[in-house]
Amino acid sequence: MHYLATILFASDSEPGREMTAANRLRHGHFFGDRARTRRIGGLTLAEMRPTVPEHEVESHTHDDAHFLLLLEGRYLSSAQGMPAVCAEPALLLNPPGTTHRDCFRGVNGRFFTLSVPDAVWRRAMAERRLPQHALRMSGFGLTHAMRLCRELRHWDSASPLVIETGLERLFDDAAAERARDTGDGPAWLDRARERLREDCLHTPRLAELAREAGVHPVHFARTFRRRYHCSPGDYLRRCRLERSLDLLRMRERSLADIAASCGFSDQAHFSHAFRRAFGCSPGQYRIDA
Q: Are 65 and 173 within one domain? A: yes
User: pLDDT by residue (tens digit) across 83-134?
Assistant: 999 998 899 999 999 999 999 998 899 999 999 999 999 999 999 989 999 9
172 shares a domain with 55: yes
Instruction: Quickly state the pLDDT bin for 16 (edges 50, 70, 90).
Output: very low
If you average pLDDT over residues 196-222, what whole number do you get?
A: 94
* 51 occurs within a structural domain: yes
Average confidence score pLDDT of the chain: 87
The CATH number of whichever domain residue 52 belongs to comes to 2.60.120.10
Range of the domain at 260: 183-288
At which of 180, 198, 230 does a domain end?
Answer: 180
How many domains would you assign to the chain?
A: 2
Res 18: pLDDT: 45
The three-class DSSP label of residue 240 is: helix
**Alpha carbon separation from 28 to 15, 31, 63, 167, 256 (Å, rounded):** 14, 10, 9, 16, 41
pTM: 0.76
Q: Which among 104, 123, 276, 185 has a CA at the least distance from the CA of 90?
A: 104
57 and 176 housed in the same domain: yes
pLDDT, residue 7, reads 36
147 and 68 in a single domain? The answer is yes
The pLDDT-based confidence of 276 (bands split at 50, 70, 90) is confident
Per the domain annotation, does 59 fall within a domain? Answer: yes
Residue pair 170/67 in contact (Cβ under 8 Å)? The answer is: yes
- Of 229, 126, 102, 139, the closest CA to residue 176 belongs to 229
Is the model's pLDDT at 14 over the cut of 60?
Answer: no
pLDDT confidence tier of residue 22, bands split at 50, 70 and 90: low
Q: Could you tell me if 31 and 92 lie in one domain?
A: yes
Each residue's pLDDT tens digit, 215-257: 999 999 999 988 887 899 998 998 999 889 889 988 899 999 9
